Amino acid sequence: MFSVTVTPRFGDTDALGHINNTALPGWFELARNPLFAMFPPERDFTDGTFSLIMAHTDFDFLGELVFGAEVEIRSWVSRIGTKSFTILHEAWQKGELRCRGHAVIVHYNFKTRETLPLPEDKKAALARHLRRED
Amino acid sequence: MFSVTVTPRFGDTDALGHINNTALPGWFELARNPLFAMFPPERDFTDGTFSLIMAHTDFDFLGELVFGAEVEIRSWVSRIGTKSFTILHEAWQKGELRCRGHAVIVHYNFKTRETLPLPEDKKAALARHLRRED
Amino acid sequence: MFSVTVTPRFGDTDALGHINNTALPGWFELARNPLFAMFPPERDFTDGTFSLIMAHTDFDFLGELVFGAEVEIRSWVSRIGTKSFTILHEAWQKGELRCRGHAVIVHYNFKTRETLPLPEDKKAALARHLRRED
Amino acid sequence: MFSVTVTPRFGDTDALGHINNTALPGWFELARNPLFAMFPPERDFTDGTFSLIMAHTDFDFLGELVFGAEVEIRSWVSRIGTKSFTILHEAWQKGELRCRGHAVIVHYNFKTRETLPLPEDKKAALARHLRRED
């Protein structure tokens, strides 16, 4: 598991008084920073050598998230395929699971626009965070 | 169908040079403005009478969205249940479908925290935008 | 003047029921799209040849912006210097000026990290949108 | 001084490879959470009793902020007036000051739409964070 704590900002709320659903994608993206570190580009992110592309995200909103209390984002690798893998994210606030979601990420060569097999060392690194879903 | 055109802003891009995936939830939310108009609160959105709550969103990223060209968001009602309905969103740029997603929205009383049956007149209004998915 | 119309999205509101102040920087950035077009990079924005860098922004919040009504962003060039220029932005909603701000933008070589004189043809293009402030 | 550490998320970057200027308003807003706590609403932020309104923000971009390193936001009260006060924010990354800005906040009754004198106890609380600017 990797964990990151997010402090909601006031602008994350909407007129209904709770955290707007569009805040979650950014929080889950933040939780994927360790993945960016596992697959570093050669020089920087603008040089065309970064090798991950987002294929899918989903979000189940299970309870209202509020301003004024920290949110822990817990993340696991829930699937390791030959060319892609899935991240499972959970947002916990005040001891309750409030949102759960996934990101399906594909290993990809942006220059040739081809999918790439996941190298064995990357699979092993991902497997250290594995939590299969039922 | 309801349609809205979005002009990407430069900050919607990320260091990879394309629109970041976290921009899409806001674009699809914008496309749901006609739904907010169908279910108006009594006085305003802070008075506790708004009756829609988000249960689920998902996004399939089918092609890269870029800065410098308009994006059309096409939306339909793809399912009408007894207490909830589903919106289907598509983001088109330069004649290609680049992202497709859904929002599952529940009819809800925020004060009593209970789900509510969808009234027949609301079902009829939603049905005018119906496009069932295969 | 250049003008762009923004439709607020629900997530732009905050728990006070109005548009959160942090929405304005994105709206004003959107209004600067014609400037990005005036100073195009050679190949794309990741190639190091884009030549504008933001030095300063400011925002005066003159009235509450609300969800449910369109906002017109009117923009002018209010100052043309030797190496930089200033954009004046105004956000109008329901016939009232609700926010006014500026962006000071410097002509800049990202590779050498040096400021650059504004070429005469760019100055002339900017001057077509000139509105000096008192 | 009050301090908060922000971890940039990948979507905060833009196609130029650095943090987009529109990320800063949200980061500085996050840094004002202690102010929201000093001026709590009676019941919640939707009940009309919150008493602060934003009048002005500004941002001086002094150096490029990058993805992959934490940013410390240091904040002070730089002015205490009779009905308003000013917050000074600084964003530090890798030991360098990269952005400095201000927020001018007015004590305000949203129901009567009138400005309010700052109570002495609030002035005293703000004064504990005072750092006058030259």
Of D10, D20, D48, the CB nearest to B11: D20
Distance CA B120, CA B27 (A): 29
- Angle (CA) C7-C13-D86 rounded to 5° is 115
Q: Which of D17, D25, D61 sits opposite C21 (nearest CB)?
A: D25
Query: Which run of H or of E encompasses A76?
Result: strand A71-80
Q: Which of D47, D49, D52, D61 to mutate to test the interface with C (most CBs of C within 10 A)?
A: D61
Q: Which residue matches tokens 């300063």?
A: C56
Tell me, what CATH number does C18's domain have? Answer: 3.10.129.10
Cα B8 off chain centre by: 17
The Cα of D38 is separated from the nearest Cα of chain C by a number of Å equal to 17
Picking from C22, C23, C67, the nearest residue to A15 by CB comes out as C67
Chain B CB contacts of C18 under 8 Å are none
Query: Which residues of chain A make contact with D67, given a CB cutoff of 8 A?
Result: 36, 45
> Judging by beta carbons within 10 Å of its beta carbon (0-12, 13-18, 19+), is residue A112 exposed, middle or buried?
exposed
Residue D101 lies in a domain: yes
Location of structure tokens 């399939």: B60
Collapsing DSSP to helix, strand or coil, B41 comes out as coil
Quick check: is B133 in a domain?
Answer: no
Check C32 against B10: CB less than 8 A apart: yes
**Residue in B with minimal Cα distance to A52:** B16
Closest to A71 (Cα-Cα) out of A50, A100, A42, A46: A100
Which pLDDT score, from 0 to 100, does residue B134 have? Answer: 73
What is the per-residue pLDDT for A33? 97
Alpha-carbon distance of B32 to B87, in angstroms, equals 8
The whole domain housing A55 covers 2-40+49-127
Whether the pLDDT of residue A41 is over 80: the answer is yes
Chain D interface residues (partner A, CB cutoff 8 A): 4, 7, 9-11, 13, 15-17, 26, 29-30, 32-33, 36, 44-46, 67-68
Q: Subunits that touch chain C (at least 3 Cβ pairs < 8 angstroms)?
A: A, B, D
- Does A46 have pLDDT greater than 80? yes
Domain count, chain D: 1
CA gap A41, A36 in Å, rounded: 9
Q: Which residue has the tokens 């892609």?
A: A84
Residues in a beta bridge with B106: B53, B84
Residue C102 lies in a domain: yes
Chosen for mutation from C18, C57, C62, C113 (greatest number of chain D CBs closer than 10 Å) is: C57
Residues of D in contact with A9 (CB under 8 A): 26, 29-30, 33
In the predicted model, what is the mean pLDDT of residues A38-46? Answer: 94
Q: What is the pLDDT of residues C50-63, one digit of tens each?
A: 999 999 999 999 99
Ranges in chain B, pLDDT < 70: none
Can you tell me the distance from the alpha carbon of B10 to that of C6, in angstroms, rounded to the nearest whole number? 15
Contact B45 A110 (CB under 8 A): no
Work out whether strand B71-80 and strand A2-6 pair parallel, antiparallel, or are unpaired: unpaired
In this model, does residue C75 exceed pLDDT 80?
A: yes
Chain A residue with CA closest to B41: the answer is: A16
B24-31 vs A24-31: helix axis angle to the nearest 10? 170
Angle between helices C24-31 and D24-31 (to 10 degrees): 170
Name residue B19's beta-bridge partners. Answer: B13
Distance between start and end Cα atoms, chain A:
17
Instruction: Say if A133 falls within a structural domain.
Output: no
C60 with D55: Cβ contact below 8 A: yes
The neighbour count for residue C88, using CB atoms within 10 Å, is 21
Does residue D133 belong to any structural domain of this protein? no
Q: How many distinct helices (H) and strands (E) make up chain D?
A: 3, 6
- Residue C109 located in a structural domain: yes
D43 found inside a domain: yes
pLDDT band at C99 (very low <50, low <70, confident <90, very high): very high
Asked whether residue B84 is domain-assigned, the answer is yes
Search chain B and give the residue with CA nearest D10. B14
Residue A59 has pLDDT above 80, yes or no: yes
* CB contact (8 A) between residue D25 and residue C29: no
**Tokens at B109, concatenated:** 């009383």
Instruction: Say if the Cβ atoms of B44 and A110 lie within 8 Å.
Output: no
Which residue in chain A is spatially nearest to C13 when comparing CA positions?
A14
Look up residue B112 and give its two tokens. Answer: 């009593």
DSSP-assigned beta bridge partners for residue A4: A73
Could you list the pLDDT tens digit for every one of the 134 residues in chain D?
999 999 999 999 999 999 999 999 999 999 999 999 999 999 999 999 999 999 999 999 999 999 999 999 999 999 999 999 999 999 999 999 999 999 999 999 999 999 999 999 999 999 999 999 87
Check: pTM over 0.90? Answer yes or no. yes
How, if at all, do strands A52-61 and A96-109 pair? Answer: antiparallel
